Amino acid sequence: MRKPNSTKKSKVRMGIIIKALGLGTSIVGSAARAGLCEKTYYNWVNKDPEFKEKCELALAISEAKWVEGVNELTQDQEAPHHVKLNAFKFLLSRRHPKYWSENQVIDLIDYDGADQFRAMIEQTNEEPNEDNEEGN
């Protein structure tokens, strides 16, 4: 007996994915709700222009809902200042990650191995030595 195809495309599965995307679920999560993996989702999208268009529309609607929600929160007079600030930071970091995402900074002043760390960084910036390349 032949094993059923667990990645078979159906209107029900496509509907589950589109609805989940519209609610703000990630692509991975939406595919999982339909019993699929992310790779299968992208295979379907790449092979079915109508399905792709519906998914893109659902993602756009979802994004608009999230942005509207964050905007409403920032306008709420009763919301604490730090909540509004975090809402703005969240929105900016997602919409413009190149400029607004949080950067990680390593503080070497209080780091016990700061001198060793600096030496390692300097070594990565040096030109390779022919003797070192051959293991001599």
Which among 36, 42, 72 is positioned nearest to 55, based on CA atoms? Answer: 42
Average pLDDT over residues 97-108: 66
Question: Where are the chain's structural domains?
Answer: 11-126
At residue 89, the pLDDT reads: 80
Dist CA 121 CA 125 (whole Å): 7
Confidence at 1, pLDDT banded by 50, 70, 90: very low
Q: pTM for the whole thing?
A: 0.61
Q: Is the CATH number 1.10.10 carried by domain 11-126? A: yes
pLDDT tier, 5 (very low <50, low <70, confident <90, very high otherwise)? low
pLDDT 10s digits, 82-98:
888 888 787 778 767 77
Q: Which residues of 4-38 are buried (b: 16+ CB within 10 A; e: fewer)?
A: eeeeebeeebbebbbebbbebbebeebbbbbebee
Q: Which ranges of 11-113 would DSSP assign to H, the alpha helix?
A: 11-22, 27-33, 38-47, 49-75, 81-95, 97-100
